[in-house]
């Protein structure tokens, strides 16, 4: 199907939904939504049940939402950002403008709709942040709409299922895209005393140049620490584990673990990984001597 014919088909689907509901179709849902007057049903948005079209906003249509309690918060921010494309391990994050006293009530003000449909769960990171994720990784190329108590409504999509797995037995990272092997990278993880945690991570903040200082976690420079700039660094955990370029450990990659917990790869592999990943792509570390990566870290969502 050509892009023109696909766009025409999507427009026809939206028009059909509008005809059934007696409402104009919504192209996307990115703004603060007004609360319906008392006695009238609350309109929320749901993703159109067709695959998302790259380069276009997430297409949505209006639906009647369930009865929801009044929100005790004044404002809320949502991540992923409007119309962002994320990896299949990215949770939905809600940040409230004040501490929440009644968590169940706050959850009842929130809504997550997906296409295709998936089930999931809420879990709290703090009194001001709750998250929602599917029970399993998102399907590739899903569309999602998020509702937050009349304070905010927006949409995002997932892209391909790009999954990286580091096996400490082989010191290799295997990368698949939608189940098909695309790259193998030699790597070096955390050495004795600094073992990389085993578990499921996902990619977050990144930078072409990232300053790393071991004194941030208590290791002084004079005691074998470091203060240096690393290239093509992608964060894996809140406490500072990255996958990044490490030309100084090329001879160790694929052979032994020599880092302070980060995943070291070659400059070529680091550049490829940086360029081919986005927020929320899963990284799995297995068979290492480190402890399990769990709820103690803000990017450990998939380990509990």
pLDDT at 126: 94
Looking at domain 3-158, its CATH architecture is: Sandwich (2.60)
CB atoms within 10 A of CB 175: 21
pLDDT at 50: 83
As a three-state string, the secondary structure of 217-264 is HCCCHHHCCCEEEEEEEEECCCCCCEEEECHHHCCCCCCCCCECCCEE
Among residues 135, 136, 181, 244, the one annotated as catalytic is 244
pTM (2 d.p.): 0.85
Looking at domain 162-303, its CATH architecture is: Beta Barrel (2.40)
CATH 2.60.40.3710 maps onto the chain at: 3-158
Gyration radius (Cα) of the chain, Å: 22
Distances (CA, A) of 162 to 191, 198, 263, 284: 27, 19, 17, 11
Is 244 catalytic? The answer is yes
Is 136 catalytic? The answer is no
pLDDT digits (tens, 9 = 90+) for 132-171: 999 999 999 999 999 998 888 999 999 999 999 999 999 9
CATH 2.40.440.10 maps onto the chain at: 162-303
pLDDT digits (tens, 9 = 90+) for 195-251: 999 999 999 999 999 877 665 656 666 656 666 889 999 999 998 899 999 999 999
Q: In the structure encoding, which two tokens stand for residue 44, read together? A: 């929320």
Distance in angstroms (rounded) separating the CA atoms of residues 137 and 49: 19
């Amino acid at each position: 199907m050509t892009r023109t014919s696909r766009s025409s088909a999507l427009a026809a689907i939206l028009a059909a939904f509008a005809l059934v509901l007696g409402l104009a179709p919504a192209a996307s849902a990115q703004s603060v939504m007004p609360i319906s007057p008392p006695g009238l049903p609350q309109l929320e948005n749901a993703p159109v049940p067709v695959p998302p079209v790259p380069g276009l906003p997430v297409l949505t249509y209006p639906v009647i939402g369930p009865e929801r309690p009044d929100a005790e918060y004044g404002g809320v921010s949502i991540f992923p950002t409007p119309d962002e494309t994320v990896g299949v391990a990215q949770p939905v994050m809600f940040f409230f403008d004040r501490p929440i006293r009644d968590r169940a009530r706050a959850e009842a003000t929130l809504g997550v709709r997906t296409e295709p449909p998936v089930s999931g769960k809420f879990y709290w990171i703090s009194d001001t942040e709750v998250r929602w994720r599917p029970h399993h990784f998102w399907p590739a190329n899903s569309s999602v709409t998020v509702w937050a108590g009349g304070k905010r409504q927006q949409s995002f999509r997932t892209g391909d299922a790009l999954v990286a797995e580091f096996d400490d037995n082989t010191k290799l990272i295997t990368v698949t895209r939608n189940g098909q092997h695309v790259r193998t990278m030699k790597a070096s993880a955390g050495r004795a005393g600094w073992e990389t945690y085993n578990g499921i991570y996902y990619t977050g903040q990144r930078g072409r140049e990232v300053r790393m200082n071991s004194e941030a976690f208590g290791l002084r420079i004079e005691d074998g620490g470091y203060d240096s700039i690393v290239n093509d660094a992608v964060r894996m955990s809140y406490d500072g584990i990255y996958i990044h370029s490490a030309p100084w450990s090329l001879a160790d990659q694929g052979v032994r673990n020599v880092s302070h917990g980060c995943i070291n790869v070659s400059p070529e592999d680091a550049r490829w990984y940086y360029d081919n990943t986005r927020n929320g792509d899963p990284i799995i570390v297995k068979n290492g001597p480190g402890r399990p990566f769990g709820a103690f870290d803000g990017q450990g969502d998939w380990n509990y």
